[in-house]
């Protein structure tokens, strides 16, 4: 059985071979390939960028995969990808490994998300949870088994929990924000790297409760109920929404979304063109992906940061002249 790294590389390899080999044996122009992997959350934005960019620069093949933020960084450190989609910041050990290998990157903010806790649409009693209740529910060694254990007025039925897997940046961000330690979660949780499997699990189980990026909830809101989160004893219970994520009132589960771009890759002309297109259209692409777009301050910081590695080579640095993307579809 092939490893996931081998399986992830096969589509890109197949595309490259098809272009090089051709069908008729005539003159063939090789296709340039850009490889992106990482967060299933940011995947939605990069996928939108891939599809829109193909319409304006069809000679470049952009491959977008989603093996989790940790999986993306792992492939990055193995030299297999140009760009990492990340729903958390890089860890110190990832930074040190990159530095020891002489790999430099540039971090860009491409949107904002609110990790959403959702129940089955038949659940008519759980409307909100405090951070204290969430910690009690998700922490290692938790003794919470039923809804009644969380609130005496709720049914004495077993809670069935769903979460992203351990390679997920969403998993790491959530556990750090709620439990207090990244990657620390109770046993007995049904985990998956595929957000759609988590959605289907909660939607198919009257006592299901799971968490995932806001866009995945929004695309399935007719099948799920989002829970409001109360950050502290005196804080209001706040539902996730584009507005509460943007104004940071949805605490502590609002977060920025990132691209980590290999500096040496930015100096390849096709990567430079793709990144310029990405930044020129980031507001459209973020909304199409289902998230809040970066702020104007983020946009300026992104362009300034990316200009440094690009100007060190032959690729043109991003300029303020936009390249239009197609109008977004409703997420």
Per-residue pLDDT of 156-174, as tens digits, reads 999 999 999 999 999 999 9
Two tokens at 2? 């092939």
- Is the pLDDT score of 329 beyond 50? no
Cα 198 from Cα 34, distance rounded (Å): 29
Same domain membership, residue 187 and residue 67? no
Q: What are phi and psi of 219, to 5 degrees?
A: -75, -10
What is the arithmetic mean of pLDDT over 211-230?
A: 97
Domain presence at residue 319: no
Lowest-confidence region among 115-129, 286-300, 305-319:
305-319
Measured CA to CA in angstroms, residue 199 lies from 70, 117, 222 at distances of: 21, 11, 11
pLDDT for residue 210: 98
- Is the pLDDT score of 326 beyond 50? no
Task: Tell me the per-residue pLDDT of 64-119, one tens digit each, with 9 for 90 and over.
Answer: 999 999 999 999 999 999 999 999 999 999 999 999 999 999 999 999 999 999 99
Number of domains the chain contains: 2
Same domain membership, residue 305 and residue 206? no
Task: Tell me the per-residue pLDDT of 260-274, one tens digit each, with 9 for 90 and over.
Answer: 999 999 999 999 999
Residue 220's DSSP bridge partners are none
pLDDT for residue 138: 98
Work out whether the CA dihedral 217, 222, 224, 227 comes out positive or negative: positive
- Is the pLDDT score of 316 beyond 70? no
What is the model's pTM? 0.83
Lowest-confidence region among 5-14, 214-223, 249-258:
5-14
Domain presence at residue 318: no
Domain presence at residue 72: yes
pLDDT for residue 233: 87
Q: Residue 237: which domain range?
A: 116-252
Domain presence at residue 11: yes
How crowded is residue 1: how many other Cβ atoms within 10 Å of its Cβ? 4
- Is the pLDDT score of 223 beyond 60? yes
Residue 31 pLDDT grade (very low, low, confident, very high; cuts 50, 70, 90) = low
Residue 137 pLDDT grade (very low, low, confident, very high; cuts 50, 70, 90) = very high
Q: State the virtual CA torsion across 262, 264, 267, 272 in degrees, nearest 10.
A: -10
Is residue 41 within 8 Å of residue 70, measured between CB atoms?
Answer: no
∠ Cα 158 176 248 (to 5°): 100
Average pLDDT, the chain: 88
Do you find a cis peptide bond into 252, omega within 30 degrees of 0? Answer: yes
What is the arithmetic mean of pLDDT over 245-271?
A: 96
**Residue 317 host element (H or E):** none
What is the arithmetic mean of pLDDT over 313-326?
A: 44
Same domain membership, residue 93 and residue 10? yes
Same domain membership, residue 148 and residue 67? no
Same domain membership, residue 281 and residue 244? no
CATH number at residue 261: 3.40.190.10
Same domain membership, residue 260 and residue 247? no
- Strand, helix or coil at 120? strand
Is residue 49 within 8 Å of residue 285, measured between CB atoms?
Answer: yes
């Amino acid at each position: 059985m092939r490893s996931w790294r081998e399986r992830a590389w096969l589509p890109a390899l197949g595309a490259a071979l098809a272009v090089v080999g051709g069908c008729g044996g005539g003159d063939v122009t090789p296709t340039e390939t850009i490889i992106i992997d990482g967060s299933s959350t940011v995947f939605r934005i990069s996928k939108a960028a891939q599809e829109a960019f193909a319409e304006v620069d069809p000679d470049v093949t952009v491959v977008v995969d989603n093996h989790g933020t940790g999986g993306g960084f792992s492939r990055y450190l193995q030299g297999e990808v140009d760009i990492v989609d990340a729903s958390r910041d890089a860890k110190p050990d990832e930074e040190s490994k990159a530095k020891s290998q002489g790999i430099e990157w540039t971090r860009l903010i491409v949107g904002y998300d609110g990790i959403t806790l959702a129940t089955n649409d038949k659940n008519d009693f759980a409307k909100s949870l405090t951070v204290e209740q969430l910690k009690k529910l998700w922490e290692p060694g938790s003794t919470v088994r039923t809804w009644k254990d969380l609130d005496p007025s709720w049914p004495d039925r077993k809670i069935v929990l769903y979460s992203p897997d351990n390679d997920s940046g969403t998993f790491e961000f959530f556990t750090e924000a709620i439990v207090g330690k990244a990657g620390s979660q109770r046993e007995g949780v049904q985990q998956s790297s595929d957000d759609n499997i988590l959605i289907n699990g909660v939607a198919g189980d009257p006592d299901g409760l799971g968490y995932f990026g806001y866009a995945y909830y929004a695309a399935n809101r007719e099948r799920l109920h989002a829970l409001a989160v109360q950050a502290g004893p005196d804080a209001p219970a706040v539902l996730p929404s584009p507005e509460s994520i943007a104004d940071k009132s949805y605490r502590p589960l609002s977060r920025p979304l990132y691209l980590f771009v290999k500096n040496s890759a930015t100096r390849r002309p096709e990567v430079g063109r793709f990144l310029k297109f990405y930044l020129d259209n980031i507001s459209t692409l973020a909304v199409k992906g289902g998230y809040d777009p970066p702020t104007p301050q983020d946009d300026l910081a992104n362009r300034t940061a990316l200009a440094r590695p690009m100007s060190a080579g032959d690729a043109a640095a991003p300029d303020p002249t936009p390249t239009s993307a197609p109008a977004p579809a409703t997420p």
